[in-house]
Structures are given as C-alpha cells and as structure tokens.
Amino acid sequence: MKRRWETPKAMVEEFEANEYVAACYSVVCNVDAANEVEKKCIIEERPWWAGGNLSNYDAGQTHSATACGAPGNYYVVDNNGDNKFDSMVEISSDLGRLNCAIYTGADYGTAANWSSISSGQTIYWTTTSGDRTWHHQGVVGTVDATHPNRS
C-alpha cells in the first residue's frame, strides 16, 4: 500500500448558541400556598361526629420543601422539537415520574397553553398518582438570573 503525504490543516468550528434553546428555567412549588389549597380540597364529606370533612391535606396529600418545593425537581419538556415548552414533569417524587397539567389560575379549572408561559410568571399545575391529585403553584424563573443562558 502506497502512502501519500497530506499537508496538516487546522480547522476551526464556530459555535453560535441559540439563546432560546440555551435558556434554563426552574420551577419550584410554593409549598405553603399549595398546602393551603389542599386544606380546601374536600375529598370526603363526613358528619361532625365523625371528625368533620376530610381534606386532601388531612389525608396526607401535603407539599414539602424537600419534595416538590426543592429546586431541580421539575423540568420542562419540548415534545416535538419546535424549541417551545410543551409540558412539565416532576422527577423527584417517591411515586416516580409525574406529569404536570398546567392551569390558567388558582381555581385549577381551565387548562393553560405552554406557549403563554414566561419567566417571572406564577403558574398553577397539578400532579396525579392513582386517585390522588396535588395542586401546586410557583414562579417560573431562570436557573441563575445573572447568567440566563447558562445551562
């Protein structure tokens, strides 16, 4: 086999970041406000002599700073590759990966569109496991406000 001499070449590849794709967002549940919502969600109507009504909160559906209230427990997902948020997932739950449903307000009655969400906005979402549903709320923010494009 005959070898041929090739002149060495230096190649430079330029990287241009797309700021929209590079931005990292965080969502943390405001556990105090979320627990107040759970106290108002009645899951069982009981007579006063049986201890009164049973709320989600009374039944153990609570929010804590080490679970849904901890940074990094949620991530947003682009399902179709269009560089827009399509959904959000809770990954830290001891119940496994939980999909989040997002709503327009604190009444959790009307589904919201992910394209309407922006940094600094308060959002409302639910997670469900079996027949239990948790009602969350929190503010969308960048991971580090001084470096919004650093992942």
Q: Cβ(93)–Cβ(72) under 8 Å?
A: no
Contacts of 30 (CB under 8 A, 6+ apart): 69, 137, 138, 139
What pTM was estimated for this model as a whole?
Answer: 0.74
> What's the CA gap between 123 and 68, in Å, rounded?
14
Domain ranges of the chain: 24-31+62-142
**Is the pLDDT reported for residue 2 higher than 80?**
no
User: Which region, left, alpha or beta, applies to residue 143 given φ > 0 means left and ψ of -120 to 50 means alpha?
Assistant: alpha
**Is the pLDDT reported for residue 29 higher than 90?**
yes
The predicted-structure confidence for 55-98, as pLDDT tens digits, reads as follows 999 998 999 998 899 888 888 776 777 666 778 889 876 788 89
> What's the CA gap between 131 and 87, in Å, rounded?
21
> What's the CA gap between 45 and 21, in Å, rounded?
48
